[in-house]
Structure 1
Amino acid sequence: MSIVSAIRISRVPGSAFLALGLFWGSFAAQVPVLKAGLGASDGLFGTLLLGSAFGLVTAMLIAPRVDAALGARGMQAAALLIALAMLLPGIVTVQWGFFLVMMVLGFAAGLLDVLMNTRVSDLEAATGKPLMNANHALFSVGYAVGAVLAGLGREAGLHSFTIFAGVALIMGAVLLGLRMQPAAEDGEDPSGTRSPFWPVILCGLVVLVAFGAEATVEAWSALHIERTLQGGAAEGAMGPATLGLTMAFGRFAGQAVSERFRATTVVIVAGCVSASGAVIAALAATPVVAYLGFGILGLGVSVIGPLGLGMVGRLVTPRQRARAISRVAIVGFSAFFFAPVLMGWSSELWGLRVSYAGVAGVLLLSVPLGLAVKALQARRA
């Protein structure tokens, strides 16, 4: 199935992926100015970013209930909430206030994330086609565009609030087309809605590795280029933009690759590729070399998270799907609990170069995890 066909089939949740990526890309490109406005050290800023993790996990715990209660309008409600919440980071200059803002943003983004991934999983089950990589590629496209536009806005002297307000208007326009009915539950399912333990844990850890690496580059790549490598604002914005662009390319390519190779094989190879990119970024002497490292990392890590979510969707029953995906998302997004904090404090102690070398080690964990999921699939088959 072509990439165009995959996007056409999942165009409704796909637009949510695109808009959410646009916001997080614009946020990542403004990390240096947000951090400076708060007067926070690396370690403290990493701790403040932890607020998004609390919001994310809270949203993911209640997402299945929201899905059941709001039905076809669930994604619209979540998108409206994030459109309002994204106005806040540009106007808060108090450290404890920024932590609360990140909690609100994390809650809104987490709710939309679970609902749009569940809709894509529903479509995968209905069509028998892999669709996750194409949709996550749209997120990466939006992320790259958001980072570039925010970087250009910073160079032009625009205030952070102005940049975020522009993204909020786009999200408001997108949410009008996000109405989509959840998949119907046919007949009785003796297993109920409770999620099987091992599919959730193993697939969740796969997503954890991917999102942990992705989160560190998103939040700290601009600072690495601007501070460690003495780059300017536009050069710093190209760090997260490079990640977004290469992740988009990797996920579009992964859409085709996932139709030809086992998901677990792709996860193992991708983990090794992305680890090599983290090492290059750690050793970079110029912004251009850092872009190369971030690009290789993005190519590899791009397919790991979507495949983890897709694998659990195929290992559970339709009635278990929303709950299983929310649980996997909780495990995966728990990276936002420790990744910003570890990155910030390790940077303060040893510098960002050592921090990115640690990211490479984490990415290599995808090899044993991929083998474990492969063994589980064989037993269930």
Structure 2
Amino acid sequence: MSSHDSTATDARVKSSYYPPSRIAVSGLFLLNGTFMGAWAPKIPEFASRLSLSESQLGLMIVCFGIGSLVLMPIAGILIAHFGTSRALRGATLVFLPTLLLLSIAPNIWWGAMAIFLFGGLTGAMDIAMNANAVEVEKSMRRAIMSSCHAFWSLGAFLGATTGGYLIETIGVLGHATLLTALAALGLAALWSLVLADAPHPAETRQKIRLPLSPLPWLIGVMALFTMIPEGSILDWGALYMRDELGASLALSGFAFGAFSATMAIMRFAGDHVRDRFGAVKTLRVSTVLAIVGMVLAGLAPNAYVAMLGFAICGVGISNMVPIAFSAAGNLPGFAQGVALSVTTVMGYSGALFAPSSIGFIAEHTGFAWVFSVLPVLLLVVLLLSKHAVHADVREKH
């Protein structure tokens, strides 16, 4: 083969690996993550503007979770009716003003409504993004879900790290207005690139109802039991290192840093790993690594060993949820989006509500015990890992 032919072949392979549909869904994951990251530095001003006590702010955060759990199933129904592309465009469009609503809410009741809509429409867009990513996986015959979640993590990082500076520089409303305008321009650029759904005649005949088959619920358990340890590390890892392992305030922050850094890196690599070794083997190895990392963190004699454990746990957990979502989205015989919404709602309920329960338990047992016991949940994921076979989308040769 001549060098010209080789270059042309490489170009075709590269373009087929990054088709417009993949760029579009990755960009929308980035957009959603940026808004979520941007919310974090707004919380103190939000609480101050509405004169919220700590308990009232806690109730506001609960409103966010309730909004997600209410609108996520509705999003699944809309996907089943209208397809992922229309649902994703619509969900993103109505999601865009939510940061502005949070910035102008004048009292507690408007604030509660705004945060309910922010959580609910974040969740609705999340369901639609994941469903469309599954469609892109089907069209490309290769995994892309992990990298989509990596773009979400990248967006959350960008939103969180720039938010404080922008709020100080151009004000709370200026920050929200700038992000909303940029997001609107991004959506306009990506609008026509979102993958139009291929017809699924066997699925469209299915009634839109809660699945009676146990399979979506079992995959939902996999997502739930993965996201509980993930949420626990994010919420309690720093406190564990500071209070029980004697870490400084600066060092304790690396509990989250080590976990999130390895998670982001491995999510960008995860699709290649899954395509190479298959979803079941990838999930099993990932789960074992997560168990080892969590146990190491829980039994750690000092903060540095715990930090290593959290880093290993990040490597393991990084691709477990994307695999579960791909498996749910590819289940045959279900109305499009319904099985995925079951899995997503179950998974995110773990991330939203379990950490508060874990904090209560840790008051009586200590976080070392909690982190040592949480791997039991990951053992259940290991036992259910054979169901990840539905996440494989590559052509069989």
Give the shorter-chain TM-score range.
0.7 to 0.9
Q: Distance in 2 between matches of 1:31 and 1:344?
A: 21
> Structure 1: which 5+ runs fail to align?
none
Could you tell me how far 1:17 is from its partner in structure 2? 0.9
CA spacing shift, 1:65–1:371, aligned 2, 3 Å: closer
Taking the TM superposition and a 5 Å limit, the aligned residue runs for 1:145-224 are: 145-150=158-163, 167-179=179-191, 180=194, 182-185=196-199, 187=201, 192-194=206-208, 195=211, 197-221=213-237
Q: Distance in 2 between matches of 1:46 and 1:353?
A: 25
Which of residues 258, 265, 279 is equivalent to 1:249?
A: 265
Structure 1 stretch displaced more, 289-298 or 306-315: 289-298
Contact kept, 8 Å, 1:59 with 1:111, in 2: the verdict is yes
> Structure 2: which 5+ runs fail to align?
1-9, 393-397
Contact kept, 8 Å, 2:293 with 2:311, in 1: the verdict is yes
- Alignment match, 2:380: 365
Taking the TM superposition and a 5 Å limit, the aligned residue runs for 1:44-55 are: 48-55=60-67
Q: Distance in 1 between matches of 2:129 and 2:289?
A: 28
CA spacing shift, 1:157–1:77, aligned 2, 3 Å: same
- Alignment match, 2:341: 326
Q: Distance in 1 between matches of 2:369 and 2:45?
A: 23
Contact kept, 8 Å, 1:133 with 1:255, in 2: the verdict is yes
Tell me the SS of whatever aligns to 2:384: helix
Q: Distance in 2 between matches of 1:161 and 1:345?
A: 36
Give the % identical residues: 23
Contact kept, 8 Å, 1:196 with 1:316, in 2: the verdict is no
Which of residues 21, 36, 59 is equivalent to 1:24?
A: 36
Could you tell me how far 1:85 is from its partner in structure 2? 2.1
Contact kept, 8 Å, 1:49 with 1:340, in 2: the verdict is no
C-alpha deviations, 1:165-191, integer Å up to 9, x for none? 654444333222343354132546585
Could you tell me how far 1:260 is from its partner in structure 2? 1.9
Structure 1 stretch displaced more, 222-231 or 172-181: 222-231
C-alpha deviations, 1:265-304, integer Å up to 9, x for none? 2222212212333345454744x65554433222211111
Contact kept, 8 Å, 1:55 with 1:105, in 2: the verdict is yes
CA spacing shift, 1:184–1:53, aligned 2, 3 Å: same
Structure 1 stretch displaced more, 241-250 or 68-77: 68-77
Question: Match of 1:328, as an amino acid?
Answer: T
- Alignment match, 2:7: none
- Alignment match, 1:231: 249
Q: Distance in 2 between matches of 1:151 and 1:321?
A: 40
C-alpha deviations, 1:284-328, integer Å up to 9, x for none? 744x655544332222111111111111233314x6232221222
Q: Distance in 2 between matches of 1:162 and 1:358?
A: 45
Contact kept, 8 Å, 1:7 with 1:135, in 2: the verdict is no
**Larger CA Rg, structure 1 vs 2:** 2
Q: Distance in 1 between matches of 2:58 and 2:301?
A: 23
Taking the TM superposition and a 5 Å limit, the aligned residue runs for 1:1-381 are: 6-8=17-19, 9-27=21-39, 38-40=52-54, 48-67=60-79, 68-69=81-82, 72-87=85-100, 100-150=113-163, 167-179=179-191, 180=194, 182-185=196-199, 187=201, 192-194=206-208, 195=211, 197-221=213-237, 229-232=247-250, 240-282=256-298, 283=300, 285-286=302-303, 291-317=307-333, 320-371=335-386
Tell me the SS of whatever aligns to 1:364: helix
CA spacing shift, 1:164–1:209, aligned 2, 3 Å: farther
Could you tell me how far 1:20 is from its partner in structure 2? 1.7
Contact kept, 8 Å, 1:148 with 1:241, in 2: the verdict is no
C-alpha deviations, 1:173-232, integer Å up to 9, x for none? 322234335413254658525546233112111121223333333444566667774425
Could you tell me how far 1:51 is from its partner in structure 2? 2.5
Q: Distance in 1 between matches of 2:123 and 2:102?
A: 17
Contact kept, 8 Å, 2:39 with 2:99, in 1: the verdict is no
Q: Distance in 2 between matches of 1:285 and 1:32?
A: 32
Q: Distance in 1 between matches of 2:65 and 2:71?
A: 10
Structure 1 stretch displaced more, 89-98 or 76-85: 89-98
> What is the RMSD of the two structures over their aligned residues, measured on CA atoms?
4.1
Tell me the SS of whatever aligns to 2:197: coil
